[in-house]
Structure 1
Amino acid sequence: MTDLVSDLLGGNASVGDDNADKGAVSDEFSSSEIKIVTAGFGGGGANSVNRLIKAGVKGTEFVSFNTDSQHFKIIDDRIRKVMIGKSITRGLGAGGDPAVGKKAAEVDRSLIEKEFQDAQLVFLCGGMGGGTATGALPVAAQIAKDQGAIVISMVTYPFNLERVRKVKAEEGIQELRKYSDSVIILDNNRLVQLVPNLPMDKAFALADEVIAKAIGGLVWTITQPSMINIDFADVRSIMGHGDVGFIAIGTGRGTDKVNLAAESVLKNKLLDVDFEGAGGAIIHVSGGSSLSLGDATKAGEIITERMDPKANVKFGARIIPGFDDGIEIVAIVTGVKGSSIIGKLDTKQRESASDPYSDLEMIG
């Protein structure tokens, strides 16, 4: 994991590249044929979107929604900035209250609808447990879904020491699941387990970078020519009914780079679940000019050996000039079970479904 952290935070691995492979096999899907919107909510979501645009990812529109006007000052000018709930918060933030975040999205619903208009695919990202993202993301997901988009939400889950935020996050994720086609969870506690000595600021930066890579890899291979393309229909078939999922990422160098990267993916899961039993996955391989089709397919084979034979798996690969002799694999795995987080969410869902009158007061 140490090498992976160095790659991600040191700039050795790339999300996007203006000089991507010009000799790709297929140019069937271009950014002009499908509208993709990537929207960050709150501070954490803005950070993820900021990393994507600085990495040069093309083929998606970028929007930052916030209740705190100050945060707009530190993100890239190429990101559309939309203040929500100004009449409620006066631009001072949600104060960590999801109810305020939800109300902010509801009162400015028309602003969100405008940004998502005609979008076929919407990525939503944010840090769960605070106010703006936790409250506003489910509203935004519902809006995007009502407008006909596939909605993929990528969110972070708080550290165990943040007990109050964890409760809020679980409630927010449960609500988000109702309206998202897939909710991809990055558990900050897994980062602690994988890189326990990483300073807190770098841990948050790593979480943002992983989300950026997952979104960036998908957007790139859908909209730009690649060695092996993943088209929108592939994304829809896997992520359209994915429910809860996770991101795994790995890098490798040298003569054994394929095995190293694939094994790194299997170890570096950012949610405490296994690949076994997963309903589907999108696996994206990136490498330099030396990346061969055999290397790319071998990497995918190593990872999918751990999965159910019936799992719906799609595979993409691209060449990035200047990537040196390394290889990077990003796996987005959906339909997983077994996580302590997912267990809590499913328990709450069953309790809610089994008692339809739980919110009514006793009379008599």
Structure 2
Amino acid sequence: MKELIHANPDLLITVVGIGGCGCNTVNMLYENNLASSVNLIAINTDLAALNSLQVENKILIGEDLTKGYGAGSNPDVGLKAAQESEGLLLNAIKGSDIIIITAGFGGGTGTGASPLVARIARELNINCLAIVTLPFESEGELRMDFALQGIAEIKAPIHAYITLSNDLLLKGLGESVGLFSAFNQSNEVLKNLLVSLVQMLTETGYVNVDKNDFSSILSYEGESILGVGKADSEELAYEALDQALNNPLVSIANIDTAKGIIFQLFCKSEPKLSTYNGLIDHIREKITNKSVLIVPGVTLDPNLSSEIEILIVASGIDSNVDKQINTEASTSIKEDYLDESLTFIDLNEEVDTDIPAITRKLMANRALDINNI
């Protein structure tokens, strides 16, 4: 109990970036020195894009099919490229304990190849989590259709998946935000999520969340959410928890129906017992499923950038549960995520529950915009 933190050398986490967006993400993680604790792999059909990365492990898929010139925004080409290089993909991920796939859906390589990588992981009996971003609405309906196709195809082989929306981030940043600033904000949110998740799994603290705990949480079927919150003092710990529970990219998913939750508390110094218990009680108050499994973890890290950091991983979220309709309701997002608030709108209508909640929400927003013209 007197030890602070030590690395877990027996756990191999592989973060696989697929396509342009996914490769940029793993390259960002490399620049943040995560290569020392996880296995980073960049997978693409675009040779020039791969060569521009600092990540050491790079795989060009579909070399005979695409000649290294990309998938041409066609998911079918992305899939065929992955099938051509299936042996390379299998050798790259085998031996991993946990695989995290990150990709942008709506294009060719990420959308087409990610489901095959997930299937390979499933066949190897490796726990696999996918974190995928949805295209901006301005990119057109075809790319959103491709994204929905990719989500439908990855749902079967993946253990859990999380969808992130750049459009929701844009709504919070406002119309005047610069293009690069918007992408940087999106990357920063994604980086914080992945860094905290990797830290939880690779470092051992006073109360530990291990691989089997993570596997148990991922085993619950349904949608998943992932959130991170930070605070500069223990007195603001509840604000950090609210930030984690209201991630601007994924907070549409209704956490109150979750079947499994990981609550990971990172602190610079020893927290009060009352704070620890109070935070867990606060989570339980939000959950209608009283038999929810909550796995807590506490890690002491004197090198944290903030005094308190909280990671929430929730799974088994039921999309079929009716939610209160309020077309004027808005959700305020803490400034650690965004500088402004986001507004989420529900429509009182039948929905296709095979479409992730976050995507249904975007489609509902689009419908409202059309009706108001």
- Unaligned residue ranges in structure 2 (runs of 5+): 321-345, 357-373
Give distance in 1, aligned partners of 2:148 and 2:305: 41
The answer to whether the 8 Å contact 2:228/2:310 transfers is yes
- 2:346 corresponds to 1:334: no
Report the CA distance between 1:296 and its aligned residue. Answer: 4.2
- 2:296 corresponds to 1:319: no
1:337-352 matches, cutoff 5 A: 337-338=318-319, 343-344=351-352, 346=354
Counterpart among 161, 166, 169 of residue 147 in structure 2: 169
The answer to whether the 8 Å contact 2:245/2:312 transfers is no
1:295-314 matches, cutoff 5 A: 295-307=275-287, 308-314=289-295
Report the CA distance between 1:181 and its aligned residue. Answer: 0.4
The answer to whether the 8 Å contact 1:41/1:124 transfers is yes
- Unaligned residue ranges in structure 1 (runs of 5+): 1-20, 349-364
- 2:194 corresponds to 1:215: yes
Report the CA distance between 1:323 and its aligned residue. Answer: 2.9
- For 1:360, the equivalent position in structure 2 comes to none
Counterpart among 252, 276, 286 of residue 266 in structure 2: 286
Give distance in 2, aligned partners of 1:284 and 1:114: 32
Instruction: From the superposition, tell whether residues 84 and 311 of structure 1 become closer, same or farther in structure 2 (CA, over 3 Å).
Output: same
- 2:66 corresponds to 1:89: yes
Give distance in 2, aligned partners of 1:227 and 1:205: 34
Counterpart among 111, 116, 125 of residue 134 in structure 1: 111
- For 1:352, the equivalent position in structure 2 comes to none
Counterpart among 35, 39, 64 of residue 42 in structure 2: 64
Secondary structure of the 2:225 match is strand
Report the CA distance between 1:211 and its aligned residue. Answer: 3.0
Counterpart among 233, 237, 260 of residue 239 in structure 2: 260
- For 1:42, the equivalent position in structure 2 comes to 19
- For 2:97, the equivalent position in structure 1 comes to 120
The answer to whether the 8 Å contact 1:290/1:325 transfers is no
Give distance in 1, aligned partners of 2:268 and 2:297: 15
Report the CA distance between 1:292 and its aligned residue. Answer: 4.7
1:239-250 matches, cutoff 5 A: 239-250=218-229
Code of the residue aligned with 1:61 in structure 2: it is N
CA RMSD of aligned residues (A): 2.6
TM-score normalised by structure 2 residue count: 0.78
TM-score normalised by structure 1 residue count: 0.80
The answer to whether the 8 Å contact 1:238/1:281 transfers is yes
Secondary structure of the 1:105 match is helix
Q: Which structure is higher in RCO with an 8 Å CA cutoff and minimum separation 6?
A: 1
183-192 or 95-104: which moved more?
Answer: 183-192
Instruction: From the superposition, tell whether residues 337 and 166 of structure 1 become closer, same or farther in structure 2 (CA, over 3 Å).
Output: farther
Secondary structure of the 2:243 match is helix
Report the CA distance between 1:237 and its aligned residue. Answer: 0.5
- For 1:276, the equivalent position in structure 2 comes to 256
Report the CA distance between 1:347 and its aligned residue. Answer: 6.4
219-228 or 37-46: which moved more?
Answer: 219-228
Instruction: From the superposition, tell whether residues 236 and 200 of structure 1 become closer, same or farther in structure 2 (CA, over 3 Å).
Output: same
The answer to whether the 8 Å contact 1:124/1:153 transfers is yes
Please give the per-residue CA displacement for 1:155-179, whole angstroms capped at 9, x wherever unaligned.
1112223322111101101100011
The answer to whether the 8 Å contact 1:184/1:246 transfers is yes
Secondary structure of the 1:192 match is helix
Instruction: From the superposition, tell whether residues 220 and 266 of structure 1 become closer, same or farther in structure 2 (CA, over 3 Å).
Output: closer
- For 2:215, the equivalent position in structure 1 comes to 236
Give distance in 1, aligned partners of 2:142 and 2:28: 28
- For 2:84, the equivalent position in structure 1 comes to 107
Give distance in 2, aligned partners of 1:345 and 1:86: 37
Code of the residue aligned with 1:262 in structure 2: it is L
Report the CA distance between 1:291 and its aligned residue. Answer: 4.4
Secondary structure of the 1:75 match is coil
Counterpart among 152, 160, 174 of residue 182 in structure 1: 160
Q: Percent identity?
A: 26
Secondary structure of the 1:112 match is helix
Secondary structure of the 1:273 match is coil
Code of the residue aligned with 2:30 in structure 1: it is I
The answer to whether the 8 Å contact 1:152/1:181 transfers is yes
Report the CA distance between 1:345 and its aligned residue. Answer: 5.7
Give distance in 1, aligned partners of 2:203 and 2:259: 27
Give distance in 2, aligned partners of 1:199 and 1:300: 38
- For 1:155, the equivalent position in structure 2 comes to 132
Give distance in 2, aligned partners of 1:131 and 1:22: 50
The answer to whether the 8 Å contact 1:261/1:328 transfers is yes
Code of the residue aligned with 1:115 in structure 2: it is A
Report the CA distance between 1:294 and its aligned residue. Answer: 4.5
